[in-house]
């Protein structure tokens, strides 16, 4: 006969890192042997984390969620970290008490902690009930097409979208009809008008035998590219597809990768070819890479034979996270700035106490090597366009010394666009960083090993994502990899120079504060503007700006790559980009103007500028350019709308400033081109270059 002490010893006391699994096993054993009440009595006097957790779980199993709620509360507050399991139980209790918003906030936190698949199963119905409280900013239309059942994937994606404030509308093609749906003009898919198509195929669709004949790979590739073409022709959607994984079983074992005709090798060739020929409307995600960072088998043969689910249910959260991160990236919702704590996050130890020589960073210390690897990873994020900042409780000089003088520090002071090492609380510092850089808190990720700091930031600034980390540097990397907060599906040259541009922005704040007059300030910047028509080489960056610019944006109209391309080649549109350089930095392509034109009248559809060049007078130049072009084409009137949003009150008076007059229709303004005054742009000192249209040559 098993005793309560044995239940505890067998599970909670000897639990490894998988505390949740241990607790679950303990609950199962206690219930199976009818020991639940005895175990609960023993647990009353036990203060450790595992015991508290087991007590909450067992109370819930025996007495229900209401009785267990205070125990779950204690698990979370005493351990200081956010455990999806506990949050789920608290959310259930909140909803029963009628507090839908509290429930949604708890569920969002749980979903940010990248829970395992079981969590999605158990929370789905609850989350649906709280849907309206998730505060979605935008709807998104997603079609799931594939050769397998996509319903489980759909559920996981739905919850992740809600977490990210996207309200998804899904379309699933009837099983096995994807090619038909793509080709038929009037199919349900085409009528649905998806913004995204998630295209899920697997190795069975390739028709590969143990040894593949010549030509089989090429035939498989052309079947896939035909499907892409049909989707590109029939919809305006961005297509997101997982690459093929070879079947897990192969009688040729190692030979399958070695022999030219081997199935593993052939699958790789097919993937490589697909990567090479994918058009910009197709985003391929490397399935084998996801598999290497996911625990457990990639496929589930039982689930496949019974309900045709691919890949295995346990890997769906990770796969869905990749899909949703690409959707966020395409919509301009990827996070932009990573704020880092220093002591025990970027190096081991406390620099203010241990001194420059005492902290662990770099060899020979094993921990030091891991911290150095972490810095290398952060450095690479910075180099590809993620902005980096520091918020640390430290003496500023102690902290800066490490980046200036420590041999093993990969990161240098100039890698950070903002450096806050002081004794203010972290939420205050983070707010300060947001206002300095003119970035929204909803584009921030904050990494800190200290649970108290994490919870303070979560509490005060819920828009900031705060991943759970322990301070073990490899775990910090893993947290950033799992969350995919900084996903990008295209790399533009602006991404590579963004850090320099923002640092320059901070220096200008200083210049401005020194009190020089505005005109003098602008002249001192030695600005140079380049501008031209939107064409193939600029359209990707233009789409990126259209979809992520919030503040200096007159209409906040969002366009897909497809919609941008159509306007770019249509004679009915005047579509221009503006690039800015100054003595501090090349800011890259920072402005877009788009107007629809008829013979007599132009209507402004989009007028936007990147927030990092606000206050430079560039809008005056853009206006001047538009007026001159419109006059040349014979138009006599400009029309424009100001569409207010929560973030664009900066441009509230933009139109009146340049002489537009309200027409009386809601938000509409007009300008008589004959009488319009051109603003003074002498601060540019004539440093303007116009790039001619190249289309004829292309």
Write out the residues near other proteins by the rule CB under 8 A.
24-25, 28-29, 31-32, 34, 36, 60-62, 64-65, 92, 96, 117-118, 121-122, 124-126, 129, 151-152, 302-303, 305-307, 309, 313
Report the SS3 class of residue 671.
strand
Q: On the CB side of 421, how many CA atoms lie within 13 Å of its CA?
A: 19
* CB 148, min distance to other proteins, A: 13
In the complex with other proteins, which residue's Cβ is closer, 36 or 582?
36
User: Given its phi and psi angles, is residue 165 left (phi above 0), alpha (psi -120 to 50 degrees) or beta?
Assistant: left
- H runs (alpha helix) in 184-254: 188-192, 216-234
* CB 158, min distance to other proteins, A: 13
* CB 56, min distance to other proteins, A: 14
Angle at 30 between CA 25 and CA 36, to 5 degrees: 135
* CB 689, min distance to other proteins, A: 59
In the complex with other proteins, which residue's Cβ is closer, 303 or 618?
303
In the complex with other proteins, which residue's Cβ is closer, 130 or 554?
130
* CB 12, min distance to other proteins, A: 14
Cα–Cα distance, 286 to 257 (Å, whole number): 18
Burial 407-416 (b: 16+ CB within 10 A, else e): ebbbbeeebb
In the complex with other proteins, which residue's Cβ is closer, 106 or 309?
309
* CB 118, min distance to other proteins, A: 5
In the complex with other proteins, which residue's Cβ is closer, 251 or 302?
302
In the complex with other proteins, which residue's Cβ is closer, 103 or 608?
103
In the complex with other proteins, which residue's Cβ is closer, 204 or 438?
204
* CB 27, min distance to other proteins, A: 9
Bridge partners for 352 per DSSP:
none
Q: Are strands 387-393 and 337-340 parallel, antiparallel or unpaired?
A: parallel
Q: Identify the CA nearest to 449 among candidates 482, 426, 483.
A: 426
In the complex with other proteins, which residue's Cβ is closer, 65 or 352?
65
Q: How many residues does the chain have?
A: 698
In the complex with other proteins, which residue's Cβ is closer, 124 or 596?
124
Report whether 46 contacts 54 (CB < 8 A).
no
In terms of C-beta density within 10 A (0-12 exposed, 13-18 middle, 19 or more buried), how is residue 405 classed?
exposed
In the complex with other proteins, which residue's Cβ is closer, 258 or 307?
307
Structure tokens belonging to residue 285: 């995600």
| Order of strands, sheet of 601-609, starting from the edge strand that comes earlier in the sequence | 661-662, 668-672, 637-641, 601-609, 586-597, 573-581, 528-533, 688-690
> What contacts 437, CB < 8 A, 6 or more positions away?
337, 387, 389, 417, 418, 502, 505, 506, 612
In the complex with other proteins, which residue's Cβ is closer, 15 or 466?
15
* CB 195, min distance to other proteins, A: 24
Instruction: Evaluate the CA torsion angle 481, 486, 490, 493 in order and state its sign.
Output: negative
> What contacts 409, CB < 8 A, 6 or more positions away?
347, 361, 362, 375, 402, 403
In the complex with other proteins, which residue's Cβ is closer, 116 or 530?
116
* CB 17, min distance to other proteins, A: 17
Q: Are strands 166-172 and 573-581 parallel, antiparallel or unpaired?
A: unpaired
Report the SS3 class of residue 55.
helix
Cα–Cα distance, 626 to 638 (Å, whole number): 9
| Order of strands, sheet of 444-447, starting from the edge strand that comes earlier in the sequence | 418-422, 387-393, 337-340, 444-447
In the complex with other proteins, which residue's Cβ is closer, 302 or 366?
302
* CB 541, min distance to other proteins, A: 42
* CB 67, min distance to other proteins, A: 12
What is the C-alpha radius of gyration for the chain, rounded to an integer number of angstroms? 28
Report whether 390 contacts 340 (CB < 8 A).
yes
Report whether 419 contacts 390 (CB < 8 A).
yes
Q: Identify the CA nearest to 629 among candidates 662, 654, 595, 661.
A: 595
* CB 556, min distance to other proteins, A: 37
In the complex with other proteins, which residue's Cβ is closer, 122 or 438?
122
Cα–Cα distance, 116 to 316 (Å, whole number): 9
* CB 70, min distance to other proteins, A: 17
* CB 78, min distance to other proteins, A: 24
Report the SS3 class of residue 57.
helix
Report whether 429 contacts 391 (CB < 8 A).
yes
Report whether 640 contacts 604 (CB < 8 A).
yes
In the complex with other proteins, which residue's Cβ is closer, 60 or 164?
60
* CB 120, min distance to other proteins, A: 9
């Amino acid at each position: 006969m098993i005793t309560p002490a044995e239940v505890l010893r067998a599970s909670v006391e000897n639990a490894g890192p998988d505390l949740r699994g241990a607790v679950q096993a303990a609950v199962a054993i206690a219930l199976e042997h009818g020991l639940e009440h005895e175990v609960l009595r023993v647990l009353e006097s036990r203060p450790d984390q595992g015991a508290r957790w087991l007590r909450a779980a067992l109370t819930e199993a025996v007495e229900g969620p209401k009785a267990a709620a205070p125990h779950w509360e204690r698990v979370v507050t005493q351990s200081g970290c956010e455990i999806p399991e506990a949050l789920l139980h608290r959310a259930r209790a909140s909803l029963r008490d009628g507090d839908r918003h509290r429930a949604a906030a708890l569920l969002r936190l749980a979903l940010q902690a990248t829970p395992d698949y079981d969590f999605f199963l158990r929370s789905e119905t609850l989350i649906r009930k709280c849907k309206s409280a998730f505060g979605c900013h935008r709807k998104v239309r997603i079609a799931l097409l594939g050769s397998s059942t996509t319903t489980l994937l759909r559920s996981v994606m739905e919850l992740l979208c809600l977490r990210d404030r996207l309200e998804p509308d899904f379309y699933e093609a009837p099983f096995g009809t994807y090619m038909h749906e793509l080709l038929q003009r009037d199919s349900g898919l085409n009528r649905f008008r998806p913004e995204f198509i998630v295209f899920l195929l697997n190795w069975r669709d390739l028709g590969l035998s143990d040894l593949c004949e010549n030509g089989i790979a090429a035939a498989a590739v052309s079947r896939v590219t035909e499907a892409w073409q049909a989707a590109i022709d029939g919809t305006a959607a961005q297509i997101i597809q997982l690459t093929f994984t070879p079947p897990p079983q192969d009688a040729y074992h190692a030979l399958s990768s070695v022999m030219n005709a081997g199935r593993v090798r052939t699958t790789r060739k097919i993937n490589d070819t697909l990567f090479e020929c994918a058009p910009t409307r197709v985003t391929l995600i490397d399935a084998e890479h996801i598999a290497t960072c996911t625990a457990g088998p990639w496929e589930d043969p039982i689930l496949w034979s019974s309900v045709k689910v691919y890949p295995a249910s346990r890997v769906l959260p990770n796969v869905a996270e990749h899909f949703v991160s690409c959707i966020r990236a395409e919509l301009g919702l990827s996070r932009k700035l990573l704020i880092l704590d220093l002591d025990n996050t970027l190096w081991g130890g406390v620099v203010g106490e241990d001194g420059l020589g005492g902290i662990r960073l770099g060899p020979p210390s094993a921990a030091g090597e891991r911290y150095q690897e972490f810095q290398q990873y952060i450095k690479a994020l910075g180099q590809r366009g993620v902005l980096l900042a520091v918020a640390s409780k430290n003496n500023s000089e102690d902290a800066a010394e490490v980046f200036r003088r420590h041999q093993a520090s990969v990161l240098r002071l100039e890698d950070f666009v903002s450096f806050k090492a002081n004794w203010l609380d972290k939420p205050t510092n983070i707010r300060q960083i947001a206002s300095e850089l003119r970035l929204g808190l909803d584009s921030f990720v904050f990494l800190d090993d200290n649970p108290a700091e994490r919870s303070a930031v979560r509490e005060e600034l819920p828009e900031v994502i705060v991943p759970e980390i322990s301070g073990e540097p490899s775990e910090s990397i893993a947290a950033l990899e799992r969350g995919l907060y900084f996903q990008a599906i295209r790399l533009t040259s602006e991404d590579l120079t963004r850090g320099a541009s923002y640092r320059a922005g901070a220096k200008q704040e200083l210049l401005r504060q020194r009190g020089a007059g505005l005109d003098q300030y602008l002249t001192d910047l030695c600005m140079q503007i380049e501008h031209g028509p939107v064409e193939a080489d600029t359209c990707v960056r233009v789409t990126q700006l259209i979809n992520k610019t919030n503040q200096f944006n007159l209409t906040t109209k969002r366009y897909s790559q497809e919609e941008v391309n159509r306007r770019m080649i249509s004679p009915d549109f005047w579509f221009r980009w503006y690039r800015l350089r100054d003595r501090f930095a090349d800011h890259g392509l920072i402005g877009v103007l788009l107007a629809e034109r008829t013979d007599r009248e132009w209507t402004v559809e989009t007028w936007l500028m990147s927030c990092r060049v606000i206050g430079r007078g560039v809008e005056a130049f853009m206006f001047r350019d538009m007026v001159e072009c419109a006059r040349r084409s014979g138009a006599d009137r400009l029309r424009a709308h100001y569409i207010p949003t929560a973030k664009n009150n900066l441009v509230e008076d933009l139109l009146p400033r340049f002489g537009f007059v309200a027409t009386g229709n809601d938000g509409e303004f007009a300008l008589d081109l004959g009488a319009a005054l051109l603003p003074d742009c002498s601060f540019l000192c004539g440093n303007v270059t116009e790039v001619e249209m190249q289309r004829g040559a292309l």
